[in-house]
């Protein structure tokens, strides 16, 4: 029986033979794991890059979102990822009197952020409605690493923030202008 050793570290996985029958045996070192895989095939070289972020959403994010959604205490919330602690945290909170212009002004021009905005409007039937927008802000001037990190962590944050109606992805302010928000809400 042929043995294949796969070495996996934070940079990726390297496989030296194709896989059929596997027995996984991780070693104790957390940064560098080795697996032994038994197979019946010939050699084959493959390289895979793993893109797992392992980000956690703080309770402050959840609580602030629920206050915005149910109590209307906030008009918008801006979230950021702290790369050191691997936490999604609240960066800025807009009060009930603030508007969309303040949200757009609070987003940095050189770094990525997430934001949620509570958009209140009146329908053609004269009914007051509210829709929550999720904005994934990834400006062109931000670092590639930050763009990748925010792109891979977005779904995890969206799952925690239950009740989002629409999503907007923007790389410059024209892609998330107030007219875009109004058009999407109707």
Instruction: Encode pLDDT of 123-175 as tens digits.
Output: 889 999 999 999 999 999 999 999 999 999 999 999 999 999 999 999 999 99
Tell me the per-residue pLDDT of 7-46, one tens digit each, with 9 for 90 and over.
444 434 443 344 444 343 343 343 333 334 444 333 222 2
DSSP letter (8 states) at residue 68? I
pLDDT at 55: 82
Q: What is the pLDDT of residue 154?
A: 94
Alpha-carbon distances of 33 from 2, 11, 23, 55, 156, rounded to whole Å:
20, 12, 14, 21, 26
pLDDT at 53: 52
CA distances from 7 to 18, 31, 33, 39, 145 (A): 14, 11, 6, 16, 24
- Residue 113's CB is within 10 A of a number of other CB atoms, namely 21
When pLDDT is averaged across residues 113-122 and rounded to a whole number, the result is 96
Q: Three-state SS across 52-97? A: CCCCEECHHHHHHHHHHHHHCCCCEEEEEEECCCCEEEEEEEECCC
State the pLDDT confidence band at 81, using cuts at 50, 70 and 90. very high
Residue 6 neighbours by CB distance under 10 Å: 19
Is residue 49 scored above 50 in pLDDT?
no
Closest CA to 158 of 180, 140, 139, 133: 133
What's the mean pLDDT when you consider all of the chain? 78
pTM listed for this prediction: 0.70
| Assigned token pair, 157 | 């944050």
Structure tokens at 60: 């402050």
**Least confident segment among 46-55, 85-94, 167-176:** 46-55
Which tokens hold the place of 9?
């570290």
Share of the chain above pLDDT 70, in %: 71
d(CA 176, CA 153): 20
pLDDT value at 102 more than 50: yes
Q: Average pLDDT in the 88-102 region? A: 96
Closest of 132, 129, 112, 107 to residue 120, by C-alpha:
129
10-19 burial, b if ≥16 CB within 10 A, otherwise e? eeeeebebee
């Amino acid at each position: 029986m042929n043995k294949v050793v796969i070495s996996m570290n934070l940079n990726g996985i390297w496989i030296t033979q194709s896989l059929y029958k596997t027995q996984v045996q991780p070693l104790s070192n957390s940064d560098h794991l080795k697996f032994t895989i038994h197979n019946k095939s010939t050699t084959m070289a493959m390289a895979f890059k793993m893109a797992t972020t392992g980000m956690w959403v703080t309770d402050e994010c959840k609580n602030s979102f629920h206050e915005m959604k149910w109590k209307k205490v906030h008009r918008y919330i801006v979230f950021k990822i702290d790369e050191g602690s691997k936490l999604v945290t609240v960066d800025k909170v807009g009060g009930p009197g603030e508007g969309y212009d303040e949200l757009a002004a609070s987003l940095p021009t050189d770094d990525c952020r997430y934001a949620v905005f509570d958009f209140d409007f009146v329908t053609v039937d004269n009914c007051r409605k509210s829709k929550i927008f999720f904005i994934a802000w990834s400006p062109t001037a931000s670092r590639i690493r930050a763009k990748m990190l925010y792109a891979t962590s977005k779904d995890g944050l969206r799952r925690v923030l239950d009740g989002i109606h629409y999503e907007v992805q923007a790389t410059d302010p024209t892609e998330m202008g107030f007219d875009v928000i109004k058009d999407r809400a109707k």
